[in-house]
């Protein structure tokens, strides 16, 4: 998919790569039969990237609408949040949405890592 996100500045890049406090975590479970739905949470975008990484072993469990709100309101990346919301609005299936969000989050992380590296 093509990701059209503008380059974040250094401040935003550090937020993108950073970790939020426990109270600002986003609940996120995992379904792995026959174990069931395992509780968990996400506290950063790098962790979200790992969480959404497709695998044949289990399914991520996350409220995608709440995710876009969390990315915008807690992480502070409105542009990424809007991009995620667009994916949710055009939903084909939950898994398809997760894959697309995984791709755009990965793209954003690469952008942020490049900016932070350049400023070091």
Partner 1 sequence: MANHGYTGKILRLDMTHRKATAIETAPYRRWGGGHGMGASLFWDFCKDKTITDGRHPANVCCVMTSPLCGTIVPSAGGRCEVVGVGVGQYPISWFTRSSFGGRFSTMLKYAGWDGIVIEGRADSPVWIDIRDGHVIFHDAENLWGKDTWATQLDIRKLLRIKGGTKTHWQDLQALALSEKDESRGEDFGRTTQKPAILCIGPAGENQTCHAALIHDAGNGAGQGGFGAVWGSKNLKAISVLGTGGIKAHDPKALLQARMITKEKYVTSWETPDFGAWTRLGRLPNPIIQVPPPTSERRPQSCQGCINGCRARYNVGYGNESACQETSWYGPFVRKVAKTSAENTEINLKAADIVQRYGFNSFVFQTGLHWLEHLYEDGVLGPGRKIPSHLPWETIGTLDFAEKLVQALSTRTDIGADMADGWVQAALKWGREEDLHTGALQFSYWGVPEHGYDPRAELEWGYGSLMGDRDTNTHCFNYIFTNVSAAFAFGKPLRIRAEELVNLHAKKLSPYAKGRPEVLDYSDANMYSEAVAQIVRWQQHYCRFYKNSALYCDLKWPDFINTNLPDLEGATASPDAGEHVFWNAVTGDTLTFEDGIEIGRRIWNLDNAIWVLQGRHRDMVHFAPYIYKTKYNKGELFPFYMWPCRDDKGQWRYTDLMGRSMDKDKFEEWKTTFYRLEGWDTKTGWPKRSTLEKMDMGFVADALQAAGRLGEEES
Under the rule (CB under 8 A), what is the footprint of partner 1?
A: 21-23, 27-41, 43, 47, 50-51, 53, 55-59, 61-66, 92-96
112 CA to centre of own chain: 13
Q: How far is the CB of 118 from partner 1 (least distance, A)?
A: 21
Q: How far is the CB of 97 from partner 1 (least distance, A)?
A: 9
* Cα distance between residue 10 and residue 90, in whole Å: 31
Q: Which is nearer to partner 1, 1 or 35 (CB)?
A: 35
Q: How far is the CB of 5 from partner 1 (least distance, A)?
A: 23
* Cα distance between residue 79 and residue 85, in whole Å: 10
* Cα distance between residue 83 and residue 39, in whole Å: 26
104 in Cβ contact with 83 (< 8 Å)? yes
Q: Which is nearer to partner 1, 22 or 118 (CB)?
A: 22
Q: Which is nearer to partner 1, 11 or 54 (CB)?
A: 54
| Among candidate residues 37, 42, 47, the one with its CA nearest the CA of residue 27 | 42
Q: Which is nearer to partner 1, 5 or 116 (CB)?
A: 116
* Cα distance between residue 47 and residue 33, in whole Å: 22
Q: How far is the CB of 20 from partner 1 (least distance, A)?
A: 11
């Amino acid at each position: 998919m093509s990701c059209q996100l503008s380059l974040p500045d250094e401040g935003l890049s550090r937020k993108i790569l950073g970790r939020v406090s426990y109270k600002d975590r986003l609940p996120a479970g995992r379904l792995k039969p026959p174990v069931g739905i395992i509780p968990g949470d996400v506290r950063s975008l790098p962790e979200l990237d790992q969480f959404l990484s497709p695998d044949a072993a289990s399914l991520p469990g996350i409220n995608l609408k709440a995710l876009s709100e969390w990315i915008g309101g807690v992480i502070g990346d409105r542009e990424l949040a809007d991009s995620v919301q667009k994916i949710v609005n055009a939903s084909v299936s939950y898994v398809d949405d997760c894959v697309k969000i995984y791709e755009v989050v990965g793209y954003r992380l690469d952008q942020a890592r490049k900016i932070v590296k350049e400023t070091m």
